[in-house]
Amino acid sequence: MTKRIRAAIVGATGYTGAELARLLLGHPNVELTVLVGASKAGQPVERVLPSLAGIVRGEVEAFDADRIASRADVAFCGLPHGASAPIVKELRARGVIVFDLSADFRLVDRAVHREWYGDDHAPELAKSAVYGMPELHRDALRTADLVAVPGCYPTATILPLAPLFAKGLVEEGPVIVDAKSGVSGAGRAPSERTHFSETTEGFRAYKIAGAHRHTPEIEQEISRVGARDVRIVFTPHLVPMTRGILSTSYLRVKPGVDAARCTAEARAFFEGSPSVFVHDAGACPDTLWVRGSNRAHVSYALDARTGFVIAQGAIDNLVKGASGQALQCMNVRFGLPEGTGLAMPAAWP
Amino acid sequence: MTKRIRAAIVGATGYTGAELARLLLGHPNVELTVLVGASKAGQPVERVLPSLAGIVRGEVEAFDADRIASRADVAFCGLPHGASAPIVKELRARGVIVFDLSADFRLVDRAVHREWYGDDHAPELAKSAVYGMPELHRDALRTADLVAVPGCYPTATILPLAPLFAKGLVEEGPVIVDAKSGVSGAGRAPSERTHFSETTEGFRAYKIAGAHRHTPEIEQEISRVGARDVRIVFTPHLVPMTRGILSTSYLRVKPGVDAARCTAEARAFFEGSPSVFVHDAGACPDTLWVRGSNRAHVSYALDARTGFVIAQGAIDNLVKGASGQALQCMNVRFGLPEGTGLAMPAAWP
Amino acid sequence: MTKRIRAAIVGATGYTGAELARLLLGHPNVELTVLVGASKAGQPVERVLPSLAGIVRGEVEAFDADRIASRADVAFCGLPHGASAPIVKELRARGVIVFDLSADFRLVDRAVHREWYGDDHAPELAKSAVYGMPELHRDALRTADLVAVPGCYPTATILPLAPLFAKGLVEEGPVIVDAKSGVSGAGRAPSERTHFSETTEGFRAYKIAGAHRHTPEIEQEISRVGARDVRIVFTPHLVPMTRGILSTSYLRVKPGVDAARCTAEARAFFEGSPSVFVHDAGACPDTLWVRGSNRAHVSYALDARTGFVIAQGAIDNLVKGASGQALQCMNVRFGLPEGTGLAMPAAWP
Amino acid sequence: MTKRIRAAIVGATGYTGAELARLLLGHPNVELTVLVGASKAGQPVERVLPSLAGIVRGEVEAFDADRIASRADVAFCGLPHGASAPIVKELRARGVIVFDLSADFRLVDRAVHREWYGDDHAPELAKSAVYGMPELHRDALRTADLVAVPGCYPTATILPLAPLFAKGLVEEGPVIVDAKSGVSGAGRAPSERTHFSETTEGFRAYKIAGAHRHTPEIEQEISRVGARDVRIVFTPHLVPMTRGILSTSYLRVKPGVDAARCTAEARAFFEGSPSVFVHDAGACPDTLWVRGSNRAHVSYALDARTGFVIAQGAIDNLVKGASGQALQCMNVRFGLPEGTGLAMPAAWP
């Protein structure tokens, strides 16, 4: 039998932290040993994460790299960018394998990172990071000790686009990515932007026209898989729901390419990937169908009147877009079946 | 003082009918005299439209063209396409001025109408119809006796695009229109697609890749104003909220055109239009800001990295996208100030 | 023709302020002259209240009693309790007629006020205040220069209960009041309690067992109308929607009293009250039916198995539960028809 | 190692069926072998239950008792009342152990059943049924071959009330039960009552004053545990959310009983029950804290001003209120730890 993996969550009091706790508690090979949450250290876990009342006893702890290293083999870090890098550095220095959900290590080109984030707290460490999308980096992840888990928008966008670029089906030119996210992606800190009364029954875009920091991450991975420099027009929107991202991309395909071809290539590309389901051509996946699960639904349609392919990807931003994907990477890293602890379907409806 | 306009609503029991009733009751120059709803004829109004309890007495009536002609100067028809044309024919034959909210008379090229709708119940009558968007057809509306009130998606999409095409700022090629609608646009008939438990907390596209019948309507008006043949890629989505449409369009603009220029042209274009507000460049209008009002919020941003302009339009689909716009047309037709009875801001939040 | 009433809103940047602006702009006898919002003074109105973009120009102002007195006949104050009293004092000293939406002047027994609020900023002034529910205090309101507009829960609860107590139909003993409110009642300030992701798809009670400050207000009015001391068990709940309150009360009625009797008495009681609609016995009003309107829906049912009457009241908390009721009081005060500017039905759905 | 239990779901295409599939797929001792859904027999599972796309292959089957008996040890029946009894009869006749989620076997007194349901399709079989609430009937469930899984409202209501009645803390007289449910409790069939646009942003009661069929079920269990005849006033409400029930009960307690005493008794009562969490006195559980989990949160508060105790229970209606509770019963029946496959916390937020 597989040996237990002892796991710590750093940044356990936010939404990705709560979701990590839920998933780690259900994972058959993991023992959740530490919950760190700086701002709420000393408070009972059940007060901070009410869904754990009666399930996890004890208190949220302050960060202490030595204590974590002594009690955990792996750490999942769900901290804001900038705050994560120094913490990760300390954990890596003590040999803890880190799955980092922040943006600090995702961009390979550190000049691009500095351009979009204005800083670079750990350029050396960044070199060793592997982008944590098993469907694209499975081999590298098997030996990775620092995994940069992708952003939620990139996951929903890259998955449907990757097979088309990998096979060279796409014409030159920018890709339009019109993405829509549930509100949990904005995190747990209250703000006007996420105040219930000004969020429900409304719909709006935000950080448009090159302002959203997930842009370079999507471009990096699509360019890599397409072996050419790809630019995207990225427009995120806020949907009045808690979880879910639908990414709708528009791209010109080469002559003769139709939705059936895209679908077939995607099915081949994701062969053996337990988290991705490719719908029949023309289908429209609903984020509700993946809510609470680590699944990605992908589909393709051809607008015959204009020659554009519409590529859609639907995920739960907190699971396949964050915490679930982190566990999926852990499974790959530890030689477990990739879907271990992640097989449950969505809680539908 | 302006003489009272006696108004009938045909199809009063659906959502656009309910909204027509609300707006007509608040209009200072209108007397609402008849509520027709075939399937619920004989039922008390307050049972069929519970928001009118204590406000409108009496019963929903069956359709009777003669009775309507004797009691109403104008009729607002909120019927499904195909069902509307024969009704409108009867009313027009009796001299009733008709504001038709169906799709039956919107398309000027009846071959295109037949292609998308499979029939044409009143090709002769269609010739006399004026497309009911005052911002584009104000003069023709002053004498129109049959007004084809636009669809909700076309309204949200055409308004931001029209000024750019009118001024020749747009490059050749298809326009990507990624639109998102609240659920009330699907009407009052229950269906799996609009069942609460499968609609809330989910987000999905539908009728994509040239399948949605609002496509030719948008193309007709943009092509007309742009004086060239424009094709769109149109992707509607369903947002888990009742009211509101946000239409996000992507278009390549001519060299040197930026968001400030688009904004300035739009402000000039909508000078004197009481229902349209053009935001400063880069703003992101929220459908919540127009909920319950006849207002359209429009904005422009330039993605400098790719040269695409993102043009957004936000409306309430039941008001500016349907019933409110119908009243706005009535105001123009009767020489009233265009915003009469339509001035109230959104009920925010 | 009635002379224009010049109106100021103090506390214009919160939700009741926004709703006051919407309603005052639509009132035929009012001119909205001043918008005061201390924390956002100097900002453009359209930035602070986006629904007013293109409708109200100018800036939010700082509070200045002299300036208000010179430009307004009446002031509507939508400030937190404690903050309101000193402001009202200044305005009253300058002869401005005040409709105060805070709790500062609602309780007649100032000892009770101090017990629940811990202070009393204007005990003298409080003596002159009239409780602003026209259905109960119409005559006193005709000459009131300071109106204490009721809380939202009290409005939804008192309206259905008052006729039963007025007619002596109720047995001795406490009344159970189980009330449910939309989130806008919590105001505009972001908080964990009203953060979208922790509010939607959840339902909970709060401030139960005598902790909610609307308790004494309900008891005061019911005791007054019933001419005896009535205690209530009050349990407020938060509903994942923006607007609306449903108050469900349970009370033992005297032998022989049934729902038909309650309904008949209520219809007699509310004769001539344009804002209250009494449903047939056994009906269940929906808050959606009054959303955005100044209407209250009331109904009664008898649980024959136990002898309890279930009395329900449904309102929009921001309209009949706050800003609309304030205008209704103003209409009474100025001798206008009570429903002036408040006649529009709910924006349903 | 425990031998695999082969399980069939009859009525797999509704919401409780979908939830059963989700939970059974995640249960370590169960093999899901048959999905029966009469109206959708022959359709691919992934079309009928889109959350199972890529997880469960094959088709939904028609009902065939022999085939089920040959392939399943247990059957979970999620059919409407009346439709369930004949099916259960056939399955029991073939030795299949049945967990029935309908109301057909819940009421012990069949005269009461006939009074509320108008029929009794299997009076003999009903005698052998055990009410499927492990917290109250654990011993009887160990040998039960027919389990009548409780309704959702009864589960949320009985759990907080049972300890108080078991200990004799409650005064004579009816108990007020004001309950609020998410919309999924109304099932999957579209209807006006559950149409999105008329459900979201609204709140209403329904089937009040003795009209809801869960009333006798609650009375049966409370009377049994309290060893006296208890009547309830039961008022269900519809909350604009998919999942969750909060039941708020009001009861007079004996002199000297306070919330701390109620809390202590409940903690003793639920000792060893893995699904129930008793909050500290005065807490207000949120349905969001249990969404997607088999957990029940319970709490007590005393309204010192009136002597009423407010007892609250929060569950997910589809899990602890239906499918999860059915599995919990199966665990008890098969000697498995009661929480097997049901330990995962809520997917919060």
Instruction: Indicate if C153-317 has the same CATH topology as C5-128.
Output: no
pLDDT at B122: 87
pLDDT band at C122; cut points 50, 70, 90: confident
B contact residues 119-158, partner C, Cβ 8 Å cutoff: none
Report chain A residues whose CB lies below 8 A from the CB of D185: none
Two structure tokens written together for A209: 């026209």
Specify burial of residue D138 (Cβ count, 10 A radius: 0-12, 13-18, 19+): middle
| Residue found by looking up tokens 């009937």 in the block | D137
Report chain B residues whose CB lies below 8 A from the CB of C295: 54
pLDDT 10s digits, B177-226: 999 999 999 999 999 999 999 999 999 999 999 999 999 999 999 999 99
Q: How far apart are CA A139 and CA A150, in angstroms?
A: 16
A contact residues 211-250, partner B, Cβ 8 Å cutoff: 231-233, 235, 237, 239-244, 246, 248, 250
Residues 6+ apart with CB under 8 A from D244: C201, C202, C203, D181, D182, D287, D288, D290, D291, D314, D315, D316, D317
Q: What is the mean pLDDT of chain A?
A: 96
pLDDT value at C188 more than 70:
yes
Query: Does residue B192 belong to the interface with chain A, where contact is any CB pair within 8 Å?
Result: no
CB C50 within 8 A of CB B286: yes
Chain D residue with CA closest to C178: the answer is D178
- Taking an 8 Å cut-off on Cβ atoms, the answer to whether D244 and C287 are in contact is no
D contact residues 25-44, partner C, Cβ 8 Å cutoff: none
Q: How far apart are CA B265 and CA A347, in angstroms?
A: 49
Q: What is the largest CA-CA distance in chain B?
A: 62
pLDDT 10s digits, A106-120: 999 999 999 999 999
**Quick count: other Cβ atoms within 10 Å of Cβ B132?**
28
From C332's Cα to the closest Cα of chain D, the distance in A is 30
**Quick count: other Cβ atoms within 10 Å of Cβ B339?**
16
Two structure tokens written together for D257: 């009983």
Chain C residue with CA closest to B291: the answer is C51
- Taking an 8 Å cut-off on Cβ atoms, the answer to whether B346 and C51 are in contact is yes
pLDDT at B2: 55
- The backbone torsions φ and ψ at residue C202, rounded to the nearest 5 degrees and listed phi first, read -145, 160
The torsion region of residue C320 among left (phi > 0), alpha (psi -120 to 50) and beta comes to alpha
Chain C residue with CA closest to A196: the answer is C196
From C101's Cα to the closest Cα of chain B, the distance in A is 18
Nearest to C75 by CA among C58, C49, C95, C55: C95
CB D107 within 8 A of CB D129: no
Q: How far apart are CA C217 and CA C81, in angstroms?
A: 14
Two structure tokens written together for C236: 């407020």
User: What are the catalytic residues of B?
Assistant: 152
Query: Does residue A302 belong to the interface with chain B, where contact is any CB pair within 8 Å?
Result: yes
Q: A–B: how many Cβ contacts below 8 A? A: 168
pLDDT 10s digits, C196-227: 999 999 999 999 999 999 999 999 999 999 99
Quote the strand ranges of chain D, DSSP E: 5-10, 30-36, 74-77, 97-100, 130-131, 146-148, 175-181, 204-205, 232-238, 245-252, 276-278, 296-303, 308-315
pLDDT at D38: 86
Least CB–CB distance from A210: residue in B204, B209, B304: B304
Residue type present at position B341 = G
Report chain A residues whose CB lies below 8 A from the CB of D276: 54
pLDDT band at A122; cut points 50, 70, 90: confident
Two structure tokens written together for C24: 């005052």
From B299's Cα to the closest Cα of chain D, the distance in A is 28
The alpha carbon torsion through A315, A317, A320, A326 (nearest 10 deg) reads 170
Two structure tokens written together for A187: 């995190």
- Taking an 8 Å cut-off on Cβ atoms, the answer to whether C200 and A242 are in contact is yes
Two structure tokens written together for A80: 């804001």
Two structure tokens written together for B320: 């500016």
Neighbouring chains of C at 3+ CB pairs under 8 Å are A, B, D
Report chain B residues whose CB lies below 8 A from the CB of D15: 197
Mean pLDDT per 10-residue section of chain D, whose length is 349 residues? 85 96 96 94 95 96 97 96 95 98 96 93 93 98 98 97 98 96 96 95 96 96 97 98 98 96 98 97 98 98 96 98 98 98 96
CB D40 within 8 A of CB D60: yes
Provide mean pLDDT across the span C241-256: 97
Q: How far apart are CA B49 and CA A79, in angstroms?
A: 50
- Taking an 8 Å cut-off on Cβ atoms, the answer to whether B196 and D191 are in contact is no
State the best of C30, C312, C348 to mutate against chain B, taking most chain B CBs within 10 Å.
C348
State the best of C184, C191, C192, C195 to mutate against chain A, taking most chain A CBs within 10 Å.
C195
pLDDT 10s digits, C19-65: 999 999 999 999 999 999 989 999 999 999 999 999 999 999 999 99
Query: Does residue C272 belong to the interface with chain B, where contact is any CB pair within 8 Å?
Result: no
Chain A residue with CA closest to C197: the answer is A242
Provide mean pLDDT across the span B164-173: 97
Neighbouring chains of D at 3+ CB pairs under 8 Å are A, B, C
Q: How far is CA B31 from CA B20, B72, B328, C23, in A?
A: 12, 9, 16, 22
From A322's Cα to the closest Cα of chain B, the distance in A is 18
Provide mean pLDDT across the span A297-310: 96
Residue type present at position C53 = A
Nearest to D99 by CA among D143, D142, D148, D137: D148
Nearest to B11 by CA among B139, B140, B138, B98: B98
Question: Domain residue spans in chain A?
Answer: 5-128, 153-317
| Residue found by looking up tokens 């319970």 in the block | D298
Residues 6+ apart with CB under 8 A from B107: B113, B116, B126, B216, B217, B220
- Taking an 8 Å cut-off on Cβ atoms, the answer to whether A52 and D345 are in contact is yes
CATH class of A153-317: alpha beta
pLDDT 10s digits, A29-51: 999 999 999 899 999 999 999 99
pLDDT band at C288; cut points 50, 70, 90: very high
pLDDT 10s digits, B151-161: 999 999 999 99
Chain D residue with CA closest to C232: the answer is D306
Neighbouring chains of A at 3+ CB pairs under 8 Å are B, C, D
From C172's Cα to the closest Cα of chain B, the distance in A is 33
Query: Does residue D195 belong to the interface with chain B, where contact is any CB pair within 8 Å?
Result: yes
From B185's Cα to the closest Cα of chain D, the distance in A is 9
pLDDT at A2: 55
Chain A residue with CA closest to C189: the answer is A192
- Taking an 8 Å cut-off on Cβ atoms, the answer to whether D183 and B192 are in contact is no
DSSP one-letter string for B126-165: HTT-EE--HHHHHHHHTT-SEEEPPPHHHHHHHHHHHHHH
Q: How far apart are CA D195 and CA B187, in angstroms?
A: 10
Two structure tokens written together for B26: 């608040």
- Taking an 8 Å cut-off on Cβ atoms, the answer to whether B301 and A231 are in contact is no
| Residue found by looking up tokens 């005297």 in the block | C254
pLDDT at C51: 97
CATH no., domain A5-128: 3.40.50.720
Does the annotation count C262 as an active-site position? Answer: no
